[in-house]
Chains A and B, each alone.
Chain A
């Protein structure tokens, strides 16, 4: 009695796994099996000293996000706190594309509300966005990457991905508070999907 059940179960699992791999391969939301989505990097950011040349983007006081800060520093990433992110947002250089914001979240989250003018870079499906984001990063002098903040690590991973793609590390800053803190401070938020073009916003 047991053997037929085991055989049947094995066949169900085999068919299921085959179908699952096929569905994952053709689904636009599918995962890449060979990609390490969660790189653990304790390597200091190259040119981290360059970050110190821009003290406005370094954390200057505890703001309750020490856990996030420690995690970012452990990955060798530079940090922008909320005030520094807002200063970058208000910087006239942003309108010239020399200061850019990058939203590391998915389509739905981005459309639901993002920092005006930010470029989208969905960390898990970057192929569509990198051709727009990388040239913009090459031109930019400062790049602020954010996601939801708190436990969200997508901004950190995106920053690492940009660094690995050749963007100078000293230009990249992670806004640890993310869109949640930005919203809490009632700073401007834009809605709608990414049109692929860098619109500086208000």
Chain B
């Protein structure tokens, strides 16, 4: 048995993670570009959260966040600086999810409706969303970024050839082939 090669199920897991990483990258790229192309709308949506009264900071967030998001998407897709990128994604996802939840709680109280019945445009790039679905979506993304950061071999975007095609079974040395 070759101890350096992962078992078949690990190869499957690696492939699954790779697909999820690509899906996450495509999602970030799409959301980032959709916001970057219309920064005014994103600025207006950010304003609803009352994050800051400093307009320079607010403008800065609205102007840079979508591009940063798109870059992270691109890096996740290409597998460059994978762990650092996942860390940046996580650093964007956690505070953003918290403010979205806080805003939704406010709307729930204000409108006297159940929390999961809250639907609004959170500025996520996908228009109006149901809050509970958004929380679920963001949670999955956070778990994925966490896995990318902490999984063994997480620096690699694509599993090496030995992991894809399976281990080479005890190749004979050249000197033995002739005889």
The yes or no answer to B39 lying at the interface (CB within 8 A) is yes
Interface string of A11-27 (1 = CB under 8 A from B): 11101110111011001
Check if A10 sits within 8 Å of B84, measured CB to CB.
Answer: yes
The yes or no answer to A37 lying at the interface (CB within 8 A) is yes
The yes or no answer to B88 lying at the interface (CB within 8 A) is yes
Q: How large is the interface on B (under 10, 10 to 19, 20 to 34, 35 or more residues)?
A: 20 to 34
Interface class of chain B by DSSP:
helix
Taken together as a complex, chains A and B put the C-alpha atoms of A113 and B41 apart, in Å, by 19
Instruction: Report chain B residues within 8 Å CB of A27.
Output: 36, 39
The yes or no answer to B22 lying at the interface (CB within 8 A) is no
The yes or no answer to B37 lying at the interface (CB within 8 A) is yes
Choice from A5, A24, A38 contacting B63 with Cβ under 8 Å: A24
Residues of B within 8 A of A (CB): 36-40, 43, 47, 55-56, 59-60, 62-68, 71-72, 75, 81, 83-85, 87-88, 91, 149
A12-B72, A30-B39, A34-B56 known; A5 and B62 CB under 8 Å? no
Check if A31 sits within 8 Å of B87, measured CB to CB.
Answer: no
Closest Cβ neighbor of A11 among chain B residues: B84
A-B residue pairs in contact (CB < 8 Å), sample of 21:
A4-B83, A5-B83, A5-B149, A8-B84, A8-B85, A9-B85, A12-B84, A12-B85, A15-B71, A16-B88, A17-B68, A20-B67, A21-B64, A23-B67, A24-B67, A29-B40, A31-B43, A31-B62, A34-B56, A35-B55, A124-B40
Instruction: Report chain B residues within 8 Å CB of A24.
Output: 39, 63-64, 67
Q: How far is the CB of A180 from chain B (nearest CB, A)?
A: 16
